[in-house]
Amino acid sequence: MTSDSTDKPSGYEHSGTLRALFERLISWNAAPSVSPAAVFFFAQNKTNQIVPEVTVDLRGAVVTWASRDKSSKKNVLELKSKNGVEFLIQYDTDSIINDWHKVLVDTIRQLVSPFISHWSPLTFVSVVETSLIIKERSGTMMDKRRDQKRVRTKLMKFLLKRPTLQSVKEKGYIRENVFGCHLATLCAQEKTTVPRFVEKCIRAVEKRGLDIDGIYRVSGNLAVIQKLRFKADHAEELDLEDGQWEDIHVITGALKLFFRELPEPLFPYSHFNGFIKAIKQRVAILKKLEYKTFKSLPAPNHDTMQLLFGHLRNVIRHGDENRMSVQNVAIVFGPTLLRPETESANITMHMVFQNQIVELILNEYEVIFFSS
């Protein structure tokens, strides 16, 4: 630092090798896209043979030790000029960086003295083996708002380009869970009219469970049922012949849970009142059920219902071994397969009707599903 005034204290010059950090790089080392470079900051001399590349006016400047959020390196000084320019200056040797700190602090303190009015800006001689860079920040709120607006714009463009969850599901990138999925959605995903899980469960029970006492009435181990549920939701292939599903009550419990967790029951809400009306009008019940109600069911509901009730008929045929009568099966499956969309004060009557409807379909299965 030098003084041009003859009636003020004689100026002095302090030079040395320092490292600096610039905002465009995150690291003190050279980034792959930036070639290592040396930048020189020359002290101003009287002959003006060398023009300084960068000068820093220390009048009104502040120098402090940089905090950890500014740099993880040790011995880092933070120099902020009056006009908003900011430098991070570093050197590994404690004594050298401490000398610089003292020089800067003393100089800034002298510059605020009324005795000293004309000082030349202090400049540095700095050579860095890696990337030497200067950190400059705009102190204006306008720049900050502009940056924030730019970030918001980029974020909005990114979000608008993202496909909707529904479109991703339609393209098959996201697989719906088996449990808790709408019947039509699950069947569309599997390209069938009867869910594969239902088919596998029925096949397993038909193979090794028709003569088991209390089939569908006896509860299986809840923890194992939940394990089977998780497997069905996440596994591409589910083998119910695996030893861990040896207990047939686990499979029947999982099948009942599947129907219980359908967002809309197997008997659709739109048809619930039709079934109730039909069960009340005993004289024309079969005709109403066959031609008006069942024939208007969506294919996944109709075909799944046909497979399930056909299987339950086989269970009833083995009633001597498993002690499952038509009434017992109706009590188990009535509330599971059909329910009103909104609960009402007639819940007790609805439960009676639910069981009666299931019982009727079991007794008239051939007429309802196979009459021409």
Distance of CA 217 to the CA centre of its chain: 40
- In 3D space, the residue among 162, 159, 185 whose CA is nearest the CA of residue 172 turns out to be 185
- Choose the weakest-confidence range: 72-76, 234-238, 287-291: 287-291
pTM score, two decimals? 0.55
CB 84 within 8 A of CB 140: yes
| CATH fold match for the domains 1-140 and 183-370 | no
Q: Cα(88)–Cα(30) distance, rounded to whole angstroms?
A: 16
The whole-angstrom separation of Cα 40 and Cα 138 is 23
> Is the predicted pLDDT of residue 32 greater than 80, yes or no?
no
Contact present, 66 and 88 (Cβ < 8 Å): yes
| CA 257 centroid distance within chain | 27
Lowest mean pLDDT among 42-51, 105-114, 312-321: 42-51
Give the pLDDT score at 169. 56
CB 212 within 8 A of CB 248: yes
Euclidean distance between CA atoms 91 and 100, whole angstroms: 10
Q: Mean pLDDT in the chain?
A: 76
Considering only 4-8, 106-110, 302-306, 312-316, which range has the smallest mean pLDDT?
A: 4-8
Question: Does residue 35 carry a pLDDT above 70?
Answer: no
What's the CA gap between 34 and 21, in Å, rounded? 14
Q: Alpha helix (H) ranges present in 133-218?
A: 141-161, 165-170, 183-190, 196-208
Compute the average pLDDT of residues 343-350.
Answer: 71
Tell me, which fold does domain 183-370 have in CATH? Answer: Phosphatidylinositol 3-kinase; Chain A (1.10.555)
Top-level class of domain 1-140: mainly beta
Look at residue 202 and tell me whether its pLDDT is greater than 90. yes
Alpha carbons within 13 A on the beta-carbon side of 92: 2
Segment among 5-19, 217-231, 271-285 with least mean pLDDT:
5-19
Sorted by where each begins, the domain ranges of the chain are 1-140, 183-370
State the pLDDT confidence band at 170, using cuts at 50, 70 and 90. Answer: low
For residues 184-203, one letter each, b for 16 or more C-beta atoms within 10 angstroms of the residue's C-beta and e for the rest, the string is eebbebeebbbbebbebbbe
Residues in the chain: 372
Per-residue pLDDT reduced to its tens digit, 65-90: 888 777 778 888 888 877 777 778 88
pLDDT at 123 over 50: no
